[in-house]
Chain A
Amino acid sequence: AQSVAQPEDQVNVAEGNPLTVKCTYSVSGNPYLFWYVQYPNRGLQFLLKYITGDNLVKGSYGFEAEFNKSQTSFHLKKPSALVSDSALYFCDVMGRRALTFGSGTRLQVQP
């Protein structure tokens, strides 16, 4: 069965520290992978995607994600967190059969 998992409901990190928001998946075929962000009182926004090519993809606001086929993961990362990065983050996976969102991870960046 296809699935996508974000194992952490919340991630807390201090401003300036690196952050990681985890996503793992199980799909048939080669997946398309996406990250979206929902800032407080705002709609969902696209951050980045992986279709093919370089396993490390760079996206908006300094975020990047690494596709790891052997670990079936697509973790979102940022070298230095900002308070303004505090938001809900969703991992989205498109496999042979349409599949969407992880359950979301709330990122809280403390000043």
Chain B
Amino acid sequence: GAVVSQHPSRVICKSGTSVKIECRSLDFQATTMFWYRQFPKQSLMLMATSNEGSKATYEQGVEKDKFLINHASLTLSTLTVTSAHPEDSSFYICSARGLGGGKLFFGSGTQLSVL
């Protein structure tokens, strides 16, 4: 079945540095990918919709300059947390929807800890 690979699974960084998270669709082309943030024991919060070859669509309240999204190919979307601060520490998850409006396939998530 379709697989979405998310890397890294865990990252610890210093405050003020930037962190890049990759989301790859391994055996299918994903024109649309989604990025979510999840706090402990809470629901997923959709951050943005990443569209191949165009700008991402950000949800209200999500800072575009803080969370840079690039979807340069049909199999790769990246989320860069710029100038990370401790309040950015969270679990980030990506997903990709298969062609034809199929079900979502999820990455395994990235636990970001900013010291």
Contacts and interface: CB of A to CB of B under 8 A. Distances in A.
A34 B93 contact: no
Contacts of B42: 104
Contacts of A100: 34, 46, 49, 95, 104
A103 B49 CA distance: 16
B97 interface: yes
A32 to B, nearest CB: 5
B67 interface: no
Interface residues of A, number: 19
Contacts, number: 44
Interface in B84-98: 93, 95, 97
B109 A43 contact: yes
Label chain A's interface by main secondary structure. Answer: strand
Interface string A83-95: 0000010101010
Given A43-B108, A100-B95, 19 more contacts: A9-B43, A36-B104, A36-B106, A43-B93, A43-B107, A43-B109, A44-B95, A44-B104, A44-B106, A49-B103, A90-B44, A98-B32, A98-B49, A100-B46, A100-B49, A101-B36, A101-B46, A103-B43, A106-B43
Interface of A: 9, 32, 34, 36, 38, 43-44, 46, 49, 88, 90, 92, 94, 98, 100-101, 103-104, 106
List 4 tightest A-B contacts by C-beta distance, closest first.
A104-B43, A44-B106, A94-B101, A103-B43
17 contacts: A32-B101, A43-B107, A44-B104, A46-B103, A90-B43, A90-B44, A92-B104, A94-B97, A94-B101, A98-B49, A98-B97, A100-B34, A100-B49, A100-B95, A101-B44, A104-B42, A104-B43
